[in-house]
Amino acid sequence: VLRDINKGKEWMHSCKESKLIKAIGDRKFIVYNVTNAPWPVSDRDVLVESEATYDKASRTVTIDMKSIESPDVPEVAGLVRMPRLIGKFTLKSVNDKVTYVTYEIDADPGGMLPHWLVRMASKDIPYITLTNLRDRVKVMAANGTYKEDVKLYREMGDNWN
């Protein structure tokens, strides 16, 4: 589900658009996201570089994310470019059927926003995002949507460099 970048808006809270800009191998991606902000605040956009690593000893995949700038993705009129985003997903295998997932995000939404509004608007983002992710994984697993992707990663197992 996390690798299906163009479907991110279907589970990421307040995500209006999620688009793959560039894949750099199997585990590193440049992604463009637009976040829907409540009126009267302008929507935000951000260009994010994400990279997945695997720790064999702890059976943990970590996806580190950070905002970047690129002349290939210029700022868009009507959107505020987020000047900073740092975050990560950590997926720890508990057993073959259970994965413990954490999501951490720290971002500067940019623009001239009062701190109380930023805190209020962002308070529920991690919880809702994780809840949506869990629900989407259940539906996709029941449908067999990512069956080949799961098979590939299981086969890679300990050889995941």
pLDDT digits (tens, 9 = 90+) for 71-129: 989 999 999 999 999 999 999 999 988 999 999 999 999 988 877 777 777 778 889 99
- The alpha carbon dihedral of 27, 51, 79, 35 has a sign of positive
pTM of the model: 0.88
Where are any strands of DSSP class E within the chain? Answer: 15-24, 28-35, 44-55, 60-67, 80-81, 84-93, 99-108
Token pair, residue 45, equals: 């956009």
* Residue 78, burial from CB neighbour count under 10 angstroms (0-12, 13-18, 19+): exposed
pLDDT digits (tens, 9 = 90+) for 8-54: 999 999 999 999 999 998 889 999 999 998 878 899 999 999 999 99
Instruction: Tell whether the model's pLDDT for residue 157 goes beyond 80.
Output: no
pLDDT of residue 159: 65
Q: Report which of residues 21 and 149 the model is more confident about.
A: 21
For residues 83 and 97, what is the distance between their CA atoms, to the nearest angstrom?
38
H or E element, residue 74: none
C-alpha dihedral, 107 to 113 to 116 to 120, nearest 10°: -60
- Within a 10 A sphere around the Cβ of 18, how many other Cβ atoms? 20
Q: Report which of residues 161 and 31 the model is more confident about.
A: 31
Matching residue, tokens 């209006």: 16
